Amino acid sequence: INNAYTVFLINLIFTIPEELGRPVYLQTDKTGTLTQNEMIFKWLHLATVFYGMDTMDEIQSHIVQSYAQVRKSVSSRIHEAEKAVALCHNVTPTDQDFSVDNRTYQASSPDEVALVWWTESVGLTLVNRDLNSLLLKTPAGQILTYYILQIVTFTSDSKRMGIIVRNRYNQAKLSIHDRALKVSAVVESLEREMELLCLTGVEDQLQADVRPTLELLRNTGIKIWMLTGDKLETATCIAKSSHLVSRSEDIHVFRLVSNGGEAHLELNAFRRKHDCALVISGDSLAVCLRYYEHEFVELACQCPAVVCCRCSPTQTCDGGTDVSMIQAADWGIGMEGKEEKQASLAADFSITQFKHISRLLMVHDRNSYKRSAALGQFVKHRGIWVLISIYQAYVSKSHPQLHADFCLFCKSIFM
């Protein structure tokens, strides 16, 4: 299927190829499945000033002025914003040599790598990192050393990360009773009355031929569900740009609910809508499945498309956590991306790009379904009772099991 990369379709199971010839629902992740998972730093919003790719030279000049002791208000804010972006991450350079110009970085998230690449492009380069320190190189060649006291890791609940002081955090972290609750309380107390330095914009482009693939699947009657951990605005934008939701199609945004009463009212409002796409958050989805599972599933299955945003790692495909989701499906298709390969190894079929799913469903598995149907007809026709009777009369002296053949024939007819 994938001749461009000389990597073809991998079929990891041989018992259900005909099942893919009649799909009804398709659930897919966004990052790395519909998108390329190649993050590119595009925008920086700082107070009332907006910087795009065509104005990055201004940021670089402000950084040079800042480290040249030419202090100005705008330069100071840009300097603090860029320093925050350069420090708040988990990226490690693969080459610790200070003289290397073409560096490569490793991180658990491509978003963080995109931020570090941007800080390097404007003059603040990450040259070394270990468990206790982090070294940055300024445009003038000066090496700045920052000691890492403690890193607050990213979680699906907080949806952020940060660097905090050591004493209060370690005191809570070393506690025996209610350790997680105390650590969360310390982090929450420190993340108050903070100054907003800047907003960053990172772009993740769609994969090639995602739009025609989704349009083809929708035209064949397949209802597609997209699950993502992104916020509502990003999920809705991706759904429209990928043609998962057509531009003329209405979108019903399911209001955030926290109990059964609110879920009941929102389901009644959604029931009055017809032929519209549904956008729902992971928290609201959990509440609906808890109190009104049957009603919600019945209404959602009638929608041409469903987008689930702000999903928790247990609800969506996130790295290796989608293995259980793939194994629970009637058939799972894994994609070999830039992250782990647990999904592709646990799936029934493994592909390299999302566009290959159209050929997989519409050509290979449709033909498998037709061949299985033809084989079933052949099995039934070959067991016609007249042929068995003639065969019995011809070889009557050999005493074949006529009753067993008749039972097998009846079974092939009624199964």
Summarised one tens digit per residue, pLDDT across range 298-335 is 999 999 999 999 887 766 555 455 677 777 777 788 87
pLDDT of residue 293: 92
Question: Which residues 6+ apart lie within 8 Å of 262 measured at CB?
Answer: 255, 287
In a domain, 341, yes or no: no
Q: Is 139 left (phi over 0), alpha (psi -120 to 50) or beta?
A: alpha
Domain boundary among 310, 330, 350: 330
Read off the CATH number of the domain in which 295 is found: 3.40.50
In a domain, 411, yes or no: no
- Torsion sign across C-alpha atoms 56, 57, 58, 61: positive
pLDDT score, position 194: 75
Quick check: 257 and 263 in contact, CB under 8 A?
yes
Whether residue 21 is found in the same domain as residue 56: no
- φ, ψ of residue 304 to 5 degrees: the values are -70, -25
Tell me: do 168 and 73 sit in the same domain.
Answer: yes
Among 36-40, 121-125, 176-180, the minimum mean pLDDT is found in: 176-180
Helix axes 260-271, 293-300, angle to 10 degrees: 30
Residues known to be catalytic: 29
DSSP character for 311?
A: -
CA 106/CA 103 separation, integer angstroms: 10
When pLDDT is averaged across residues 172-201 and rounded to a whole number, the result is 72
Tokens standing for residue 337: 């991306």
237 and 312 housed in the same domain: yes
Predicted confidence band of residue 21 (pLDDT cuts 50, 70, 90)? low
CA-closest candidate to residue 209, choices 96, 46, 351:
351
On whether the CB atoms of residues 204 and 38 are closer than 8 A, the answer is: yes
pLDDT tens readout for residues 252-297: 999 999 899 999 999 999 998 888 999 999 899 999 999 999 999 9
What does DSSP assign to residue 144? E
Last residue of a domain, one of 143, 171, 201: 201
The Cα angle at residue 187 between residues 182 and 193, in degrees rounded to 5: 135
User: Could you give the number of structural domains in the chain?
Assistant: 2
Tokens 């080459």 identify what position?
95
Nearest to 202 by CA among 232, 239, 229, 234: 234
CB 112 within 8 A of CB 90: yes
Residue 401 is assigned to a structural domain of this protein: no
Boundary-marking domain end, from 297, 315, 330: 330
In 3-state terms, what secondary structure has residue 308? strand
- Across the chain, mean pLDDT equals 77
Token pair 């005909």 is found at 18
Domain of residue 224, residue span? 12-36+204-330
> Does residue 260 share a domain with residue 130?
no
Decide: 225 and 218 in contact? Cβ < 8 Å: no
Rounded-to-5 percentages of helix, strand, coil across the chain: 45, 20, 35
Do 112 and 193 fall within a single domain?
Answer: yes
Q: What is the pTM of this model?
A: 0.63
